[in-house]
Structure 1
Amino acid sequence: MKNLQGKIILVCGGATGIGAATVRRLCEEGARVALGDLNIETARVLADELSAKGGEVVAWQYDQSDETTIAALVESVMAHFGGLDGVFANVADIQAVMVDGDILSNDSALWERTLKINVVGTAMLLRATLPHLRERGGGAIVLTSSDAGVVGEPERPAYAASKAGVNSLCRHVASKWGQEGIRCNTVSPGFILTEQLDAAMDQQMKDWMLKGARSPRHGAPGDIAAAVAFLLSDDGEWVNGQTWRVNGGVSFAN
């Protein structure tokens, strides 16, 4: 990967799954990684593991629903590393997704919780990090989105609306600061078979999930990590304001 060596990248939601795979990939590419997550115990285990292998990873706890902790996270990153070259915002309220039914069943509390973390929290993270990227003369941001934000589904309207909001934030940042060297893109993962899902899901369900793909296998966290690493690197400098569907060909869009 071109010119990720020595770059300082903040990964939010990096303790497990796609986030952890991305932290690992960035370390392999020589980046210096700040890891933010609510699950600080798991985040520190990952940071210690990669640091012992020669990487540079430091973990901090923060809460995506709390602007104060977002600001404190970014301040800690700046104090430790002295700069910032890129951000991967990979946080969403997955627990809310599990009870996200439809317009009639969802109460206002579920809507407020989902939008506060997924949209407002992302906006506050961008608000905290953008000045530091601009001071650097440019930088790269990647946000995690979902096909739910565009395809239309009979369930998960709060989650879908929040991801549509994330896509809009991406285009706003690219439009406002692109000529200053700021790049902002989103990745839209398909079904990713994490270790937890692999252990919990029976083979029949896995086979059913694979039927809709144009790929011979399920997606893995490393597939998304590879796309994120490219977009954060200088190899991706001509990509801006885009949503990449990294989903094994499950869905297409213009």
Structure 2
Amino acid sequence: MTGLLEDKVIIVGGLGGIGNGLARRFTDEGARLVLGDIDAELVRRVTDEIDPAGERIRGTHLDGSDEQSVSAAVALAVDTFGRLDGLHVNFTNAADAYLPGGVVELPLEAFDEVMRVNTRGFVICAKHAIPAMVDSGGGSIVFTASIDAYNGAGTRVSYAMSKAAELALMRHIARRYGPKGIRCNAIAPGLIWHYKFDQQPMPDGVVEQARARQMIKSRFGTPNDVAALAALLLSDDGSFITAQTISVDGGVTFRP
């Protein structure tokens, strides 16, 4: 690794498949981290695996849709490491991901839950992280979005709407707070293969359909494909990149 994030203080909100990859890559690049997730055991396990000495990582319970929880995570970063340079919001709710119907059949409780986490949660994270980063002299925010924000699928309408909303928020932050030294970008992954897929097989046909849509046929994306781009966007090497959505999808989407 190149030390791209040497001594940067970054919050990663949301572990699991992609989130674990973010934590490992950011640590390898020299960052000091606060890792947060609603699964306390997952936070403990990832923190112990990556930083057994407890020198560079602090783990915390984080419910991204709860304002007090997010505020506490930001305070933990500042109180422990003295500043906040970056935030990667990676958590997601996909309550309607495998429901077969469209908007007519959509259970509103599923819609409300997706929006509570994926839209309200991202707003709360930005609301509390931006002032801390401004106080630190500036910083970078990265959102994990999805190519579903563009694809117009016949299902997953709540999820797709929430991901489109995250992109609107990203552009707002870049415009409003750019003059204060805040950059904001989004990464839109396609199918990223990680350990959860090995533990719980996907529905019939999903993997085949995803491969057929990719221009790169030799493999699926991995968490480190997302993490490598995120590290750049959070680093000084990415300091002239803002208000952008970059797909990591093997060529599924073609956008100007």
TM-score w.r.t. length of structure 2: 0.92
Residue 178 of structure 1 corresponds to 178
**TM-aligned CA deviation for residue 204 of structure 1:** 7.3
Runs of 4+ in 1 over 2 A off after TM superposition: 52-55, 94-101, 198-209
- Alpha carbons 1:193, 1:219 under 8 Å: kept: yes
**TM-aligned CA deviation for residue 57 of structure 1:** 1.2
**TM-aligned CA deviation for residue 246 of structure 1:** 0.7
What's the secondary structure of 1:52's corresponding residue?
Answer: coil
- Alpha carbons 2:34, 2:77 under 8 Å: kept: yes
- Alpha carbons 2:9, 2:77 under 8 Å: kept: no
In percent, how many aligned pairs have the same letter? 34
Partner Cα distance (1:149, 1:39) in 2: 27
In the alignment, structure 1 segments of 5+ residues that lack a partner are none
Residue 36 of structure 1 corresponds to 36
**Deviation per residue, 1:34-88 (Å, 9 max, x gap):** 1010011111111112112786111100212222211122222222222100000
Which amino acid counterpart does residue 154 of structure 2 have in structure 1? Answer: P
The yes-or-no answer on 1:223 pairing with 2:222 is no
Which amino acid counterpart does residue 162 of structure 2 have in structure 1? Answer: S
Residue 9 of structure 1 corresponds to 10
Which amino acid counterpart does residue 7 of structure 2 have in structure 1? Answer: G
135-144 vs 51-60, which moves further: 51-60
Partner Cα distance (1:238, 1:159) in 2: 30
**Deviation per residue, 1:188-244 (Å, 9 max, x gap):** 001011122135448976444322211121111111111111111111111100000
- Alpha carbons 1:50, 1:56 under 8 Å: kept: no
Which amino acid counterpart does residue 193 of structure 1 have in structure 2? Answer: W
Residue 116 of structure 2 corresponds to 116
Which amino acid counterpart does residue 89 of structure 1 have in structure 2? Answer: V
Aligned pair in 2 of structure 1 residues 83, 101: CA closer, same or farther (>3 Å)?
A: farther
**TM-aligned CA deviation for residue 164 of structure 1:** 0.5
Residue 141 of structure 1 corresponds to 141
Partner Cα distance (1:205, 1:185) in 2: 28
Partner Cα distance (1:23, 1:37) in 2: 12
Aligned pair in 2 of structure 1 residues 39, 100: CA closer, same or farther (>3 Å)?
A: farther
What's the secondary structure of 2:213's corresponding residue?
Answer: coil
Aligned pair in 2 of structure 1 residues 98, 78: CA closer, same or farther (>3 Å)?
A: farther
What's the secondary structure of 1:249's corresponding residue?
Answer: coil
- Alpha carbons 2:142, 2:184 under 8 Å: kept: yes
Which amino acid counterpart does residue 122 of structure 1 have in structure 2? Answer: F
TM-score w.r.t. length of structure 1: 0.93
Which amino acid counterpart does residue 251 of structure 2 have in structure 1? Answer: G
Partner Cα distance (2:180, 2:22) in 1: 26
